[in-house]
A and B are shown apart, each in its own frame.
Chain A
Amino acid sequence: MTSRRLPLEISAGQARLLEVDGLVMRYDTEAGEVSAVENVSFSLGRGESMGLVGESGCGKTSVALSLLRLAPENARYQSGSVLWEGMDLLELSDQEMREYRWAEISMVFQGAMNAWNPVYRVGEQIREAMDHHFDPPLSTVETSRRMDRLFNLVGLDPAVQNRYPHELSGGMRQRAVIAMALSCEPKLIIADEPTTALDVIVQAQILEELKEIQEDLGLSILYISHDMAVIAQVTDIIGVMYAGKLVEFGSTRDVFHGPRHPYSYLLLSSIPSVTGPRRRPVSLEGTPPNLLAPPAGCRFHPRCPWATEQCRTDEPPMMQIGPSQWAACWNSEQVPEMGEQLP
């Protein structure tokens, strides 16, 4: 493998907050070993927001869970490192890791808005999380002050603290989830499909608020989503994953305007848009490979309309194609032209 570490210069001069380097994670299942995350490298700076996109089962959530070391029990980290301000999180003890979780990195889980405990008030549940993580614990007055600020931050009336989850709408519950994720003042929030179940207007409101919060607090956010349009709007850098591998990585603008991996290209061409000329979205044929026995060579070659002999046998490394763009494709140079010729 060439150039495992990616010297990303997008936010030059800033120390990288998070550097994931050659992460390999597999699940042991009865049917065999599932190669869920294969040699994934990326880095994220302070105050930056990054998007991980891909089809379901492409490993984006597995990557996120690895950062928190919350992957299911049958997960095994084969190699690689997750450097958090220079320290490898994969080598910490469980106890040490627990201190990092929530306090430094917190996560908004997919569907978390439906995971509130129905018998406790929303405020109590957030307060409990805060009590667990502040040592020494905050005074009652300080906790209340913080809670009010948190709720204002996510656009909720502080009075909502005293309501039960079922009394809140989906959008309010999701805002409260974000408040909970922010409660321990993390430096990074991982947001797994934070707006998927919400209506567009509420989605737009929440994304706007997240962006404001990010700027106010200097947070980094890792968005995980299958919705390319959302990612386009809220992220600075983007990683496209396919079948457990990162196939393209770079600044969101570069990747959206000039995707250089066929998968990113097709994925971007497959989304219908409400604006611009009405063009026919391209359909991406076939299904993702079985990760118990991933195909040899490039994992995308069975579905790639432009696959060559080399793609079937040799695995393409991440190659730098622009000042802030990397792609793992042997033919990345030709992708834009080839795309033009699609029906």
Chain B
Amino acid sequence: MADQRSLPEETHTADPFGSQPILHEVDSWWKIRLTLMRRSLRENWRIFRRSKVGVFGLVIIAFWAIMAVMPTVFFATGFWNPAVYDPVTGLELNPPTRTMTMVERITDPNTEIDRRAVLLDGRIPDTLQIGDTFELPRQPAPPDGRHWLGTDPLGRDVLSQLMHGARASFFLGILAAVVTVVIGTTVGSMAAYFGGIVDAFLMRLADLLILIPGLAILIVIGAVFTFQLWHLAVVIGILSGFGGTAIVLKSQALAVKVKPFIDAARVAGGSARHIIFYHLIPNVMPLSVLYMMFTVTAAIQSEAVLSFLGVLNTDTSWGLMMNLARTQGYLLQVVDFWWLTIPAGLSVTLLSAAFFLVGRGMDEIVNPRLRRR
């Protein structure tokens, strides 16, 4: 038992006197920091690489990152005409058409249209009689050479919306995660270090925020205020940062707080601020980054739900695409109009799962006990 534990140490006790100095001359401090960071990144990457799910997640994220920059490339190179491909204002002026016959009573909805529908649809001249045939523009249109994922009911390109939606998701997810981690790490470390009243107050606050049904609150806020994407990110960040994340990071900080190096810093005369920022937070950080990944997942999913319900004031997002499909009545016709719902739904699932998988991969770096030999 004991030997199993001491074994890896055995392999690491290479003769330190024999190894090369890292730097011979101390030239500038940021260069040294950079060298050290590169070294630890390389080391961490070596561990991360062994986690198949983690690498898979990273590949998906990379894919979506590319997707997110593509519209800029397409518009800049003139491959896409903004008038047609803009995700909000674009419109396909020459949509594919199909031949319809005006009838009194519809027997085949694919080739027949009734009189009242013709009168309501402004695109068709009202001089037509029953039995006449005419060309009706198809909107939403299925995928073709011009629109690889078809167009939506308003004649806009679905692929372009999907790409812009990826941007929104990245922006939202990463902002929410950063807010969560900054708040969660600070709150958790302070609660652990000071204990007593500070701890009690922060932890009851955390309990309260965990008890609040987050989504319901977000819907209410969305109903009352004009809810921008970054508002949502901040709210999610605050809810999670003061809530669950704070509790997890506090328990980690507590484990760090009892380490003798904290005592050593106190003996050296370090103030509370010094100890929290110089010792506690750097040791909690790896776990924070892990929780950052999980927050991204949660944020992307909440955004999708809120946009789908139409309480978020945003231009393009995957949730909004689904929302449009719903309000226009295409939601239940997945087989006929799959391009309106499946790509957006799949994107939400894939990207949020990808961050989760990366988090799982990072688990091995953060918790060395999980590491394989």
A residues bordering B, Cβ < 8 Å?
27, 29-31, 34, 36, 56-57, 61-62, 65, 71-72, 74, 109-111, 115, 192-193, 286-292, 302
- Is A290 a contact partner of B13 (Cβ separation < 8 A)? yes
- Is A192 a contact partner of B2 (Cβ separation < 8 A)? yes
A-B contact pairs, 14 of them (CB 8 A): A27-B7, A29-B373, A34-B7, A34-B11, A56-B6, A57-B9, A57-B10, A74-B373, A109-B2, A115-B1, A192-B2, A286-B15, A291-B11, A302-B15
Q: Other than A36-B7, A61-B6, A71-B3, give 13 A-B pairs with Cβ distance below 8 A.
A: A29-B373, A30-B372, A31-B11, A34-B11, A56-B9, A57-B6, A61-B2, A61-B3, A111-B2, A193-B2, A286-B17, A290-B13, A290-B15
B14: interface (CB < 8 Å): yes
CB-CB contacts of B1-41 with A at 8 A, as 1s and 0s?
11110111111011111000000000000000000000000
B4 contacts which chain A residues (CB < 8 A)?
72
Which interface residue of B11, B16, B17 has the most chain A CB atoms within 10 A? B11
- Is A290 a contact partner of B11 (Cβ separation < 8 A)? yes
- Is A288 a contact partner of B13 (Cβ separation < 8 A)? yes
- Is A110 a contact partner of B11 (Cβ separation < 8 A)? no
- Is A62 a contact partner of B3 (Cβ separation < 8 A)? yes
B3 contacts which chain A residues (CB < 8 A)?
61-62, 65, 71-72
Which interface residue of B1, B9, B16 has the most chain A CB atoms within 10 A? B1
- Is A109 a contact partner of B14 (Cβ separation < 8 A)? no
A290 contacts which chain B residues (CB < 8 A)?
11, 13-15
A287 contacts which chain B residues (CB < 8 A)?
13, 15-16
- Is A57 a contact partner of B13 (Cβ separation < 8 A)? yes
Query: Nearest chain B CB to A299's CB is how many angstroms away?
Result: 13
Query: Nearest chain B CB to A27's CB is how many angstroms away?
Result: 6
- Is A109 a contact partner of B1 (Cβ separation < 8 A)? yes
B15 contacts which chain A residues (CB < 8 A)?
286-287, 289-290, 302
- Is B7 a contact partner of A110 (Cβ separation < 8 A)? no
Q: Which of B1, B11, B16 contacts A292 (CB 8 A)?
A: B11
A72 contacts which chain B residues (CB < 8 A)?
3-4, 7
- Is A111 a contact partner of B11 (Cβ separation < 8 A)? no
Query: Nearest chain B CB to A290's CB is how many angstroms away?
Result: 4
- Is B14 a contact partner of A110 (Cβ separation < 8 A)? no
B7 contacts which chain A residues (CB < 8 A)?
27, 29, 34, 36, 72
A115 contacts which chain B residues (CB < 8 A)?
1
B1 contacts which chain A residues (CB < 8 A)?
109-111, 115
CA A71 – CA B17 in complex, angstroms? 31
B10 contacts which chain A residues (CB < 8 A)?
34, 36, 57, 291
B13 contacts which chain A residues (CB < 8 A)?
57, 287-288, 290
Query: Nearest chain A CB to B334's CB is how many angstroms away?
Result: 48
CA A287 – CA B12 in complex, angstroms? 12
Of chain A, the residue at the smallest CB distance from B373 is A29
Of chain B, the residue at the smallest CB distance from A32 is B11
In the A-B complex, the 7 residue pairs with the closest CB atoms: A61-B3, A110-B2, A57-B10, A290-B14, A72-B4, A109-B1, A31-B11
Query: Nearest chain B CB to A309's CB is how many angstroms away?
Result: 20
A302 contacts which chain B residues (CB < 8 A)?
15
